[in-house]
């Protein structure tokens, strides 16, 4: 979409290879163990080259490939031996056996009565707490250098750690201890945009033409119409010079007017495109220099120990004129090229896509898998945004129908991949991926317990607040989540019943305003972000007390979460089994969620009472016979035909 870069002749910074080189002697090898797990590196190399050609054209790619080859060689030579050993050992679908815990590094284990600043040393001190909980992968929300205009999603240096978190040395201390305790690490990779404080943009402001080409910009003022679409929310339709219309969702309609920020560079006005905040300028992925620099970033962090990269806002990379700027074919080519590079360098590390899209639009991000490469060609995990609000619909309306509808509409994915399942994350509880009627119903139930976000498309707030701080409903919701296929993600504080914090959101707004004023950025319509009510710190004292005192309400909830996680990790069926509903015929009850999880060696039956009324379940109905069962959560033996479920109760049963 950039008017400054349209496949023009590329002058690569590296002069080690001549432009136009069409052949490269291929000498890349895997160990026999890695090749048995991950397939042929030559096939990956060819797939990467083909994907790059889709984006940049053959002549440019002929110049790119030798430089990328050099990047790979250098990074493989410096790859730590311990990481190479993991490349030899991990299965291609290892992620199916994980439980993820996500946290803000500056807000976890905070000292000084919750008013202090968390950092990587504080997280390191709390690793025993996380080990006790039972989670296996730690998702550390943005920690790369940032002025913190958007909670770290505005990166100012891709290969450094924020000073307030202790810098790179503190990260490494944390990483080493976490690894020694058996944890895997997940990190954000924010590739759609960067902070306007990043050196690339600062050099562009200084008039560097090469760096101007790193960004999506235009010289003419955008002509647009802003309006509300019932399904898409606030939309800006831009009339382009060729008469086409670029119809774009406005992600932060309360904060900004449109997608363009006017900046004068050396006497020339430029309108820089931003998908989100004006201080987050979108990168121009039609510029191959951006690709080369990002590959270096991937190589850096993969050798620093990252096991999963969450690709933030990935649908927006390529912004073709005359389109909605989402899920474009060349975006998939960009992702495929990066995925091939990652697998060639570090086949034990994977990608997860953050794509808030409908199922038919999410599916292509998995790509394809074949016998030559084994792993899927794009990402290995995608958030399941359509199922998440369906789970909430079932919880709030006390009926299983919405959930089963979403499951029926879920497409099959490559068998080495997984859906990321979640109840809450750091963002709002988005209702975008629902029909309009369902959205209105759920919004009405949620809005009074949180705060609106994006004009009715979502509601900010914590899980406990949405569930009326009822510990029965909180643990039942997580029993729901942890009994489903895929990769479950737990948001920090949910295991303790943490609630909304309005004062923290006001403080965050003031800090955002101060940052904008200090850096001379374009003013926002509002600096208040309602999502901050579900982002408040978790005190070190709180975490320490939970491990010492297990009998209060918080401690009991924590113990119940421990039991659910332990049961999942111990059960092949719960981790990897297929999901199918149990049929009760005429005796079916809307408020009963009942299904089977069946793997090669195990079957578990899950029964969840979604309602405030007790239920009695005839166990003979779905099986046409009767068995003795044992509850895998507490080893209780059930020898009666009828299963009694108190309000919001659940059972995970196996044959005795």
Residue 281: pLDDT over 80: yes
Average pLDDT over residues 540-551: 85
Q: List, in order of start, the domains of the chain with CATH numbers.
A: 194-282 (3.90.400.10), 578-655 (2.60.40.1180)
Residue 37: pLDDT over 80: no
In the DSSP assignment, the letter for residue 310 is E
The pLDDT confidence band at residue 587, using thresholds 50, 70 and 90, is low
**Maximal CA-CA distance, the chain:** 82
Does 524 or 194 have the greater pLDDT score?
A: 194
At 433 the pLDDT is 94
Residue with tokens 């010079």, as numbered in its chain:
241
Dist CA 433 CA 249 (whole Å): 14
Residue 24: pLDDT over 70: no
Average pLDDT over residues 366-395: 92
At 145 the pLDDT is 98
At 3 the pLDDT is 45
Residue 22: pLDDT over 60: no
Residue 9: pLDDT over 80: no
Residue 34: pLDDT over 80: no
Dist CA 409 CA 17 (whole Å): 49
Percent of all residues in the chain with a pLDDT value above 70, rounded to a whole number: 93
Average pLDDT over residues 425-452: 95
Q: Is the distance from CB of 131 to CB of 153 less than 8 angstroms?
A: no
Q: Is the distance from CB of 216 to CB of 1 less than 8 angstroms?
A: yes
Query: What's the number of CA atoms in the CB half-sphere (13 Å) around residue 394?
Result: 28
User: CB under 8 Å to 265, separation ≥6 — which residues?
Assistant: 204, 205, 207, 212
User: Could you give the angle at the alpha carbon of 240 between the alpha carbons of 239 and 243, nearest 5°?
Assistant: 80
DSSP helix/strand/coil, 432: coil
Residue 36: pLDDT over 90: no
Q: Is the distance from CB of 102 to CB of 139 less than 8 angstroms?
A: yes
Check 150, 312, 397, 532 and give the catalytic one. Answer: 312
- The β-bridge partners of 465 are none
Average pLDDT, the chain: 92
354 is an active site residue: yes
Average pLDDT over residues 361-388: 92
Dist CA 568 CA 633 (whole Å): 9
Average pLDDT over residues 487-504: 97
437 is an active site residue: no
The pLDDT confidence band at residue 586, using thresholds 50, 70 and 90, is low
Among residues 209, 254, 247, 215, which one has the least CA distance to residue 229?
247
Q: With 0-12 CB in 10 A as exposed, 13-18 as middle and 19+ as buried, what is 64? A: buried
The pLDDT confidence band at residue 246, using thresholds 50, 70 and 90, is very high
Q: Is the distance from CB of 585 to CB of 167 less than 8 angstroms?
A: no
At 27 the pLDDT is 55
For 74-117, write each residue's pLDDT tens digit: 999 999 999 999 998 999 999 999 999 999 999 999 985 545 68
Residue 6: pLDDT over 50: no
DSSP helix/strand/coil, 369: coil
Does 79 or 40 have the greater pLDDT score?
A: 79
At 651 the pLDDT is 98
Residue 140: pLDDT over 50: yes
At 29 the pLDDT is 65
Q: Is the distance from CB of 617 to CB of 607 less than 8 angstroms?
A: yes
Query: What's the number of CA atoms in the CB half-sphere (13 Å) around residue 211?
Result: 15
Check 119, 282, 326, 354 and give the catalytic one. Answer: 354
At 485 the pLDDT is 98
H or E element in which residue 41 lies: helix 41-56
Q: Is the distance from CB of 621 to CB of 633 less than 8 angstroms?
A: no
Which has the minimum average pLDDT: 5-14, 169-178, 227-236, 290-299?
Answer: 5-14
Residue 5: pLDDT over 60: no
Dist CA 190 CA 310 (whole Å): 8
Among residues 511, 502, 489, 496, which one has the least CA distance to residue 460?
502
At 32 the pLDDT is 76
At 549 the pLDDT is 73
How is residue 9 written in tokens? 């002749």
In 284-362, where do the E strands start and end? Answer: 308-312, 350-353
Dist CA 597 CA 652 (whole Å): 10
Residue 625: pLDDT over 90: no
Residue 624: pLDDT over 90: no
Residue 633: pLDDT over 60: yes
Average pLDDT over residues 121-138: 97
Average pLDDT over residues 594-601: 97
């Amino acid at each position: 979409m950039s008017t400054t870069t349209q496949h023009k002749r590329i002058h690569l910074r590296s002069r080690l290879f001549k432009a136009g080189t069409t052949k490269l002697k291929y000498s890349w090898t895997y160990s026999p163990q890695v090749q048995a797990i991950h397939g042929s590196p030559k096939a990956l190399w060819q797939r990467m080259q083909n994907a790059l050609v889709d984006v940049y054209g053959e002549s440019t790619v002929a110049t790119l490939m030798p430089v990328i080859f050099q990047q790979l060689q250098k990074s493989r030579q410096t790859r730590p031996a311990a990481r190479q050993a993991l490349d030899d050992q991990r299965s291609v679908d290892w992620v199916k056996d994980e439980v993820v815990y996500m946290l803000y590094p500056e807000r976890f284990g905070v000292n000084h009565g919750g008013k202090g600043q968390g950092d990587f040393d504080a997280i390191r001190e709390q690793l025993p707490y996380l080990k006790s909980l039972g989670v296996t992968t730690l998702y550390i929300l943005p920690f790369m250098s940032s002025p913190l205009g958007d909670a770290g999603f505005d990166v100012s240096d891709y290969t450094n750690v924020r000073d307030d978190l202790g810098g790179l040395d503190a990260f490494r201390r944390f990483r080493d201890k976490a690894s020694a305790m058996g944890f895997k690490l997940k990190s954000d990779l924010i590739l759609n945009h960067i902070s306007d404080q990043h050196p690339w943009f600062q050099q562009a402001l200084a008039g560097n033409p090469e760096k101007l080409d790193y960004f999506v910009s235009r010289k003419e003022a955008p002509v647009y119409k802003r309006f509300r679409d019932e399904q898409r929310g606030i939309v800006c339709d831009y009339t382009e010079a060729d008469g086409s219309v670029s119809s774009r969702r406005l992600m932060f309609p309360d904060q900004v007017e449109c997608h363009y920020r006017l900046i004068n560079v050396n006497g020339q006005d430029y309108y820089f495109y931003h998908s989100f905040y004006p201080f987050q300028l979108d990168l121009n992925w039609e510029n191959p220099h951006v690709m080369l620099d990002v590959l270096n970033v991937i190589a850096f962090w993969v050798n620093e120990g990252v096991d999963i990269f969450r690709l933030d806002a990935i649908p927006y990379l390529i912004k073709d004129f005359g389109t909605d700027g989402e899920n474009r074919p060349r975006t998939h080519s960009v992702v495929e090229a990066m995925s091939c590079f990652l697998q060639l360098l570090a086949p034990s590390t994977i990608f997860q896509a953050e794509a808030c899209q409908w199922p038919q639009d999410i599916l292509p991000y998995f790509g394809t898998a074949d016998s030559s490469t084994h792993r899927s060609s794009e990402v290995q995990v995608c958030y399941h945004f359509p199922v998440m609000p369906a789970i909430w619909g079932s919880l709030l309306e006390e009926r299983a129908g919405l959930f089963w509808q979403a499951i029926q509409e879920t497409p099959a994915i490559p068998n080495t991949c997984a859906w990321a399942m979640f109840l809450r994350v750091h963002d709002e509880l988005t209702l975008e991926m629902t029909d309009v009627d369902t959205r209105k119903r759920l919004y009405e139930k949620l809005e009074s317990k949180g705060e609106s976000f994006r004009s009715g498309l979502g509601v900010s707030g914590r899980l406990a607040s949405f569930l009326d701080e009822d510990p029965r409903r909180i643990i039942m919701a997580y029993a729901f989540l942890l009994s489903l296929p895929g990769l479950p993600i737990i948001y920090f504080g949910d295991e303790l019943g943490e609630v909304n914090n309005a004062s923290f959101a006001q403080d965050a707004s003031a800090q955002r305003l101060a940052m904008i004023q200090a850096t001379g950025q374009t003013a926002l319509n509002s600096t208040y972000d309602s999502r901050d009510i579900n982002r408040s710190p978790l005190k070190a004292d709180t975490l320490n007390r939970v491990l010492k005192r297990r009998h209060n309400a918080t401690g009991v909830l924590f113990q119940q979460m421990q039991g659910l996680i332990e049961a999942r990790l111990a059960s092949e069926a719960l981790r990897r089994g297929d999901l199918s509903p149990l049929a009760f015929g005429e005796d079916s009850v809307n408020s009963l969620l009942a299904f089977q999880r069946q793997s090669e060696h195990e079957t578990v039956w899950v029964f969840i009472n979604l309602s405030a009324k007790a239920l009695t379940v005839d166990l003979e109905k779905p099986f046409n016979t009767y068995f003795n069962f044992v509850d895998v959560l507490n080893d209780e033996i059930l020898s009666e035909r009828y299963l009694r479920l108190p309000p919001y109760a659940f059972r995970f049963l196996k044959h005795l």
